[in-house]
Amino acid sequence: MFKRLFNELTLVFELSPQESPLLIKSGRESGADPTLLDMNFVRTAHPDTGEMTVFLPGSSLKGTLRSYCEKIARTVRPEGDQVWCCDPFSPGFCGKRLEGNLSAAARYASSCVACRTFGHTGLGSHLAISDAYPNDTPRLEQRDGVAVDRITGAVAAGPFNLEVVTQGTFQATLRLRNFQLWQVGLLAVALREMGQGRVPIGFGKSKGFGRVSVNYKELEIAYPGRFALQANGHNFGVELVDLVAFDFPGRDEYHLIPADPLSLPLPEEGREVVDDGAFGRVATHWTDAATIEAVLNATVGHWRACALGEWPPSGEANDE
Ligand SMILES: [Zn+2]
């Protein structure tokens, strides 16, 4: 689906433990290796130095953001069904519901708000998050943990040695392609909540582990394939344009969510516009955290309109 690229948002941000130990478990059991703890932080080779380092896998970050976005969607529309926001662990999950010989447009049209952003087994994701590597040397500590029997409250197993990060800064890049403004708004809400410590990541959420701060570093809004700043009544150098504003074949079959307005003005402050006329790419770029936050927050109204709006039309739920 969406073989063409219309709009693209790239957000670089840093995550740091917020007075809370952080542990993304590696799949490795300590087994017979006495040098390993019972639960170790996941490690890989740093792409710049080649040295082994702890890191935050992009898949973990994406999974955490997805679950939190689902939680927000279910909270704002408690009566919403699986077409509004599906439960990936239920048989009504979009990936299951939309199996079979459907066109890409039909699959998208019947997918819920979470799957439209994060994808499902039959629908590519519009959002990608890179692995987050440390900018400095993270502080690693050992903690003891136990497994508690849920019924009796007694210690069922343990203690385990846990390897946690207590200080450090990890840099991640989030890329959203062919997006609607409501999707940016929903992510803005989730990232804000994450930065306020309300969306823990990794192991031990019930113990208070995994609370992080979020620090925006760079934002780029780009329109690939544009040889001019202006087209279709939009100025790509100064506007954040919703996917629904672009014309493409069969667009109506995708049942995009109405956007009003179709675009938002981008702040002038600190703005760098790159109009690469030769290669066809218009991009605007900011590095000031407050301005980046303002751009993201401006889209929350579109998410609100989506949440309180008429999509999906009732009666469409069980067409299949
Ligand atoms: Zn879904």
Residue 161 lies in a domain: no
Task: Please measure the distance between the N-terminal and C-terminal CA atoms of the chain and give it in whole angstroms.
Answer: 20
Ligand 1 centroid–CA 302 distance in Å is 20
Residue 42 lies in a domain: no
Ligand 1 centroid–CA 110 distance in Å is 9
Ligand 1 centroid–CA 311 distance in Å is 14
Closest CA to 22 of 190, 150, 173, 204: 204
Ligand 1 centroid–CA 87 distance in Å is 7
pLDDT for 252: 93
C-alpha to C-alpha distances, 245 to 178, 219, 235, 263, 283, nearest whole angstrom:
11, 21, 12, 8, 17
Ligand 1 centroid–CA 206 distance in Å is 27
pLDDT digits (tens, 9 = 90+) for 156-195: 666 788 999 999 999 999 999 999 999 999 999 999 999 9
- pTM given for the model: 0.92
Residue 3 lies in a domain: no
CA distance 308 to 304: 6
User: Does pLDDT of 320 surpass 50?
Assistant: no
Residue 163 lies in a domain: no
pLDDT for 319: 45
Tally the domains of the chain. Answer: 1
Domain holding 80, by residue range, is 8-24+54-138+170-308
Q: What is the residue whose two structure tokens read 């109506």?
A: 252
Ligand 1 centroid–CA 188 distance in Å is 20
168, two tokens: 């450090």
Ligand 1 centroid–CA 62 distance in Å is 15
User: Does pLDDT of 275 surpass 90?
Assistant: no
Residue 33 lies in a domain: no
Ligand 1 centroid–CA 304 distance in Å is 19
Residue 147 lies in a domain: no
The pLDDT of 132-147, averaged and rounded, is 90
User: Does pLDDT of 202 surpass 70?
Assistant: yes
CA distance 4 to 154: 57
* Residue 152: φ, ψ to 5°: -90, -20
**pLDDT category, 272, cuts 50, 70, 90?**
confident
User: Does pLDDT of 37 surpass 80?
Assistant: no
Ligand 1 centroid–CA 92 distance in Å is 8
Ligand 1 centroid–CA 217 distance in Å is 31
Ligand 1 centroid–CA 275 distance in Å is 37
Ligand 1 centroid–CA 175 distance in Å is 20
Instruction: Kindly state the percentage of the chain with pLDDT values over 90.
Output: 71
User: Does pLDDT of 258 surpass 80?
Assistant: yes
User: Does pLDDT of 94 surpass 80?
Assistant: yes
Ligand 1 centroid–CA 85 distance in Å is 5
Ligand 1 centroid–CA 127 distance in Å is 14
